A = this chain, B = another copy of it.
Amino acid sequence: MAADGTRRTRAFEEVLLQVEHRIAGDGLKVGDRLPGERQLAEQLGVSRASVREAIRVLETLGVVSSQVGRGPDAGAVLTSRPDSALTDLLRLSLSLSSLSLREVIDTRLMIERWSAEHAAHTANANRAADVDGNAGTDGDTRHDALAAAAAAMEAMDAARDPEEFVRHDIAFHVAIAEASGNRLVAAVMRALRGAMRKYAIEAVERLGDTGVLREDHRRIHRAVLAGDAATAAEAVTVHLAHAYPELF
């Protein structure tokens, strides 16, 4: 029986290990190319099919991107797109109902309150910096994000159906997360909203009128712009309570 426990590693798993070592060891960076499938297969002594399965995994994790054809950009190129992977992960986990809506909304609350607070703080810091005349790229990021949030608010006012409304609603909330300046938090937010898109549309349909939600958005946006972290966080909490009254 060989109380081994560890199932014999499959060929593609070995490929994954080797490739990850190569990334960490050789200091490969985004934009660098991996060897071709045939070459990699020969180097590692496995079939091309196994190499392909490994590459598919890496593609799923958002670290490589494959292009056909020939030239400098052909083949498997290292990238860093964790967003879609995160989104897929959460969406599938939700549809397998391994998570409750309550847990997801609580997580949103955590992220959005934090984001709004930090975006507001950054607003203050930036106002101070502006006086000195040096804004910096962080300020640019935040400024762009808040502009995007404002645009999303207008788009929501003009939205003709729940699907369109939710699309801009997602844009708004992601923009607030981006305004915090933390890309990891923003990525999680984007994934979360993308994964629960369907639920959000249903929630809006149940609600009927979106006037309350739109007014909430304005309050959040105003508070962040004003650098009032406490008010921004409170506005976020109120907003989610309006969107999902059954949980509060």
Contact = CB atoms under 8 A, between A and B. Distances in A.
Interface string A6-19: 00000010000000
B89 A62 contact: yes
A243 interface: no
A80 interface: yes
Interface in A94-119: 95-99, 103-104, 106-107, 110-111, 114, 118
Interface stretch (A49-57, A128-136, A152-160, A229-237): A49-57
A99 B57 contact: no
A183 interface: yes
Given A56-B57, A57-B56, A62 B93 contact: yes
| Protomer copies | 2
Contacts of A49: 49, 52
Looking at chain A's contact residues, the main secondary structure is: helix
A50 B181 CA distance: 40
Contact of A95 (B23, B106, B185): B23
Interface in A160-193: 182-185, 188
Contacts of A111: 110
**5 tightest A-B contacts by CB?**
A80-B98, A60-B60, A110-B114, A53-B56, A63-B92
Interface of A: 12, 20, 23-24, 29-30, 49, 52-53, 56-58, 60-63, 78, 80, 82, 85-86, 88-90, 92-93, 95-99, 103-104, 106-107, 110-111, 114, 118, 182-185, 188
24 contacts: A20-B92, A23-B95, A23-B96, A29-B96, A30-B98, A52-B53, A53-B56, A61-B88, A61-B89, A62-B93, A63-B92, A63-B93, A63-B96, A82-B90, A85-B89, A86-B89, A89-B89, A98-B183, A99-B184, A103-B183, A106-B118, A106-B184, A107-B184, A110-B114
